């Protein structure tokens, strides 16, 4: 049984380092954090998915099972059904609770445009989408930060998507990109912060 398009959202671990791409995949084809894996003979998820991946597209493969533990911090729906054969799950359990499904749109209005060294800056990122989109910020220093990620002290992404820079330094000046993605697409908006 051939799978249709499966695009999973997996953890953005905040690393800007380059990771080797699995040999059966094309990394970067769907953007800097996107991976396209294909081939009619592919029956299993590739190993060594880069940890900063946001998209994984396995269109046209024979993959029918999501292996337990292959990703961290998967969307709740995927987490609920990991390790199960997708063919055994009723289609009604895999649909979204949306009256109108839509790709994300991003709005950064209301963000601070300027702050001074040692002070706080708040960069807002309001996302509209259905189903819920995964959100992450890319900083001028190359950090990729998503909600509840504590790898970068001094930065916090709140539940509403607002990036808080606790105590700004000169290197925090520059362009910040807010990106939101769901299986229907992605949107991003750049906001410039002056220090």
Q: Which residues of 68-92 are buried (b: 16+ CB within 10 A; e: fewer)?
A: eebbeebbeeeeebeeeebeeeeee
Q: Per-residue confidence of the chain (195 residues) as pLDDT tens digits? A: 333 333 333 333 333 334 566 666 766 555 555 666 666 667 776 666 665 555 566 666 776 665 555 544 344 445 565 666 666 766 555 555 566 778 899 999 999 999 999 999 999 999 998 878 888 899 999 888 888 666 788 898 888 899 999 999 999 999 999 999 887 888 999 999 999
pLDDT of residue 177: 95
pLDDT of residue 40: 61
Q: Is 79 helix (H, G, I), strand (E, B) or coil?
A: helix
Which position has the token pair 């609920």? 80
pLDDT of residue 179: 92
pLDDT of residue 7: 39
The top-level CATH class assigned to 102-193 is: mainly beta
Q: What are phi and psi of 20, to 5 degrees?
A: -65, 140
Q: How far apart are CA 138 and CA 153, in angstroms?
A: 15
Strands 174-182 and 155-157: unpaired
pLDDT of residue 146: 83
Residue 77 tokens read as: 């729906």
Which are the contacts of 17, defined by CB distance < 8 A and separation ≥ 6? 52
pLDDT of residue 118: 94
DSSP state of 57: E
How would DSSP label each residue in 181-194? EETTEEEEEEEEEB
Q: Is 114 helix (H, G, I), strand (E, B) or coil?
A: strand
Which position has the token pair 């729906």? 77
What residue ranges do the domains of the chain occupy? Answer: 1-95, 102-193
* CB burial of residue 178 (10 Å; 0-12, 13-18, 19+): buried
Say how far residue 157 (Cα) sits from the centre of its chain: 13
């Amino acid at each position: 049984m051939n799978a249709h398009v499966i695009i999973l959202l997996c953890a953005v671990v905040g690393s800007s380092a380059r990771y080797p791409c699995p040999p059966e995949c094309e990394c970067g084809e769907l953007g800097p954090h996107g991976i396209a894996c294909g081939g009619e003979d592919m029956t299993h998820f590739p190993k060594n998915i880069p940890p900063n991946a946001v998209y994984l597209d396995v269109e046209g493969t024979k993959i029918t099972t999501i292996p337990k533990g292959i990703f961290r911090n998967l969307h709740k729906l995927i987490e609920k059904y990991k390790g199960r054969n997708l063919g055994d799950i009723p289609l009604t359990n895999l649909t979204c609770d949306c009256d109108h499904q839509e790709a994300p749109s991003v709005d950064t209005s209301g963000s601070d445009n300027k702050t001074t060294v040692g002070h706080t800056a708040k960069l807002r990122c309001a996302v509209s989408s259905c189903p819920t989109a995964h959100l992450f910020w890319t900083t001028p220093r190359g950090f990729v930060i998503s909600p509840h990620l504590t790898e970068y002290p001094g930065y916090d992404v709140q539940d509403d998507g607002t990036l808080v820079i606790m105590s700004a330094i000169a290197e925090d000046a520059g362009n910040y990109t807010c990106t939101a993605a769901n299986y229907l697409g992605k949107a991003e908006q750049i906001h410039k912060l002056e220090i």
